[in-house]
Structure 1
Amino acid sequence: MSLALTIFLLVFVGQLISWIGQTVLQNIAYSMYQSIFNASTVKRQKALQNEILTTKKELLQTSAQDEFAKWAKLRRKVDKGLADLEKLNSELSSAQTSFSLTFKSVIWILTSGAQLAVGWWYRSQAVFYLPPGWLGPATRLFSLPFAPAGSVSCWAWQMACKRVINIGERIAKDFVVQVQGSAPVSAEKAGS
Structure 2
Amino acid sequence: MPSLLIIVFILQLTIHSVNTFGVATINSLLWTLFNMLPVPTSKAAAEQNDLKSQFLELRKEMNATSSQDEFAKWAKLRRQHDKLLEQIEKTKSTLDSTKSTFDSVVNGLRWLGLNGVRMLLQFWFQKQPMFWLPKGWAPYYAEWLLSFPRAPVGSVSIQSWSIACMAIILLVSDALVSAVGLALAPKAPSKTAEPRKAPSEEKAARAEESRSQSEKKEL
Normalising to structure 2: TM-score of the pair?
A: 0.65
Q: Once the 2 structures are TM-superposed, how far is the Cα of residue 22 of structure 1 from its aligned partner?
A: 1.7
* Partner SS for 1:124: coil
- What CA distance in whole angstroms lies between the structure 2 residues aligned with 1:84 and 1:177? 44
Looking at CA atoms only, which structure, 1 or 2, has the larger radius of gyration?
A: 2
Q: How does 1:38-187 map to 2 (within 5 A)?
A: 38-45=41-48, 61=72, 86-137=89-140, 138-181=142-185
Q: Once the 2 structures are TM-superposed, how far is the Cα of residue 114 of structure 1 from its aligned partner?
A: 1.4
- Answer yes or no: is 1:30 the counterpart of 2:56: no
- What CA distance in whole angstroms lies between the structure 2 residues aligned with 1:168 and 1:120? 28
- What CA distance in whole angstroms lies between the structure 2 residues aligned with 1:25 and 1:87? 25
**Shift in CA distance, 119/48, structure 1 to aligned 2, threshold 3 Å:** same
**Shift in CA distance, 184/149, structure 1 to aligned 2, threshold 3 Å:** same
Segment drifting more, 81-90 vs 137-146? 81-90
- What CA distance in whole angstroms lies between the structure 2 residues aligned with 1:109 and 1:35? 25
CA deviation string 1:97-123 (max 9, x = no partner) = 011111111221222111111111111
* Partner SS for 2:143: helix
The match for 1:69 is none
Q: How does 1:1-40 map to 2 (within 5 A)?
A: 1-36=2-37, 37=39, 38-40=41-43
Amino acid at match of 1:17: V
Amino acid at match of 1:32: L
Normalising to structure 1: TM-score of the pair?
A: 0.73
Question: Structure 2: where are the runs of 5+ without partners?
Answer: 63-70, 74-78, 191-219
Q: Once the 2 structures are TM-superposed, how far is the Cα of residue 4 of structure 1 from its aligned partner?
A: 1.1
Q: Once the 2 structures are TM-superposed, how far is the Cα of residue 81 of structure 1 from its aligned partner?
A: 7.9
The match for 2:203 is none
Question: Structure 1: where are the runs of 5+ without partners?
Answer: 63-74
The match for 1:67 is none
* Partner SS for 1:106: helix
CA deviation string 1:35-92 (max 9, x = no partner) = 32222113444566759x98xx9xx849xxxxxxxxxxxx9x9999877655433221
1 or 2, which has the higher helix percentage?
1
Query: What percent identity do the matched residue pairs reach?
Result: 24
- What CA distance in whole angstroms lies between the structure 2 residues aligned with 1:170 and 1:84? 46
**Shift in CA distance, 47/162, structure 1 to aligned 2, threshold 3 Å:** closer
Q: Once the 2 structures are TM-superposed, how far is the Cα of residue 139 of structure 1 from its aligned partner?
A: 0.8
The match for 1:65 is none
* Partner SS for 2:151: coil
